[in-house]
């Protein structure tokens, strides 16, 4: 049975070319035992290409490459022609077509797709974190979070957590209720990563009434009474004073505005 050697050449990790080569080879050999693949990753200069071409000639290999720099693609094609080698450019034709369609020049920077993937997975991880540690479900999340939000009910803690999660921050939020002691973890964290969300009694009264009506309940429940709201806000002030965290008034702010204030604060602290 005839054997085949494929050289996978990339200026990054080489996963893309490796997967495509395996997919193509699987159409001929299901076990792939007779098709050997050798990956050459992070190829950055032309001298490496000459060495790879020399080895490929010795082993009668086909070179399959994903090189983002046009000069490197040109060089490996030249080396293959000089050595009588067959080669397949997986990336160049696609990059050229996209560049022509957009009327733009490519960055020609290796590894950008991996950066995009890593950024995507960080966002997904942050979103899952926000769901898991929403509404004080598990106080252990307070210690793991990048940002911790505290406030009374209906101060937009959950939507704010999700908004910040889409910016790749792991956020835990904790509701404050007079009858329930706050988790001890709130007093163990760095106060700078905690933000208290305060709101005016009248605005909160209106929000809670609307919430009750939406649930099909009467709007005169204790939950929406001004006295009850003031009691909760007094409790909130005691807790955030003990934590020593920054307090943001969300009374007349959209979630995006509050999030931008928090992000500005976090960014400035890391400068």
Annotated binding-site positions for ADP: 151-158
From the number of C-beta atoms within 10 Å of its C-beta (0-12, 13-18, 19+), residue 107 rates as: exposed
**Pick from 153, 171, 155, 151: nearest CA to 237:** 151
Known binding-site residue numbers: 151-158
Contacts of 225 (CB under 8 A, 6+ apart): 205
Q: What angle do CA 267, 175, 231 make, to 5 degrees?
A: 115
Angle of helix 201-214 relative to helix 226-243, nearest 10 degrees, comes to: 120
3-state secondary structure of 7: strand
Find residue 248's DSSP bridge partners: 197
């Amino acid at each position: 049975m005839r054997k085949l050697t494929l050289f996978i050449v990339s200026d990054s990790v080489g996963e893309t070319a490796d997967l495509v080569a395996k997919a193509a080879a699987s159409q001929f050999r299901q076990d792939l035992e007779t098709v050997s693949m050798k990956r050459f990753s992070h190829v950055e200069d032309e001298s490496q290409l000459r060495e790879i071409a020399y080895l490929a000639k010795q082993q009668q290999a086909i070179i399959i490459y994903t090189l983002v720099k046009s000069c490197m693609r040109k060089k490996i094609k030249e080396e293959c022609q000089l050595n009588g080698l067959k080669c397949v450019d997986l990336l160049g034709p696609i990059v050229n077509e996209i560049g022509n369609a957009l009327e733009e020049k490519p960055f020609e920077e290796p590894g950008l797709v991996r950066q995009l993937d890593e950024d995507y997975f960080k966002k997904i991880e942050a979103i899952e974190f926000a769901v898991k540690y929403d509404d004080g479900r598990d106080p252990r999340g307070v210690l793991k979070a990048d940002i911790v939000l505290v406030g009374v009910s209906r101060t937009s803690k959950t939507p704010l957590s999700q908004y910040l999660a889409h910016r790749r921050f792991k956020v835990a939020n904790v509701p404050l209720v007079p009858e329930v002691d706050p988790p001890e973890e709130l007093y163990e964290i760095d106060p700078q990563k905690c933000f208290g969300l305060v709101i005016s009694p009248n605005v909160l009264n209106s929000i809670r009434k609307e919430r009750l009506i939406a649930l099909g309940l009467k709007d005169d429940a204790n939950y929406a009474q001004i006295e009850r709201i003031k009691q909760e806000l007094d409790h909130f002030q005691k807790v955030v004073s003990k934590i020593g965290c920054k307090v943001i008034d969300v009374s007349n702010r959209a979630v995006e505005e509050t999030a931008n204030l928090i992000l500005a604060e976090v960014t400035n602290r890391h400068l």
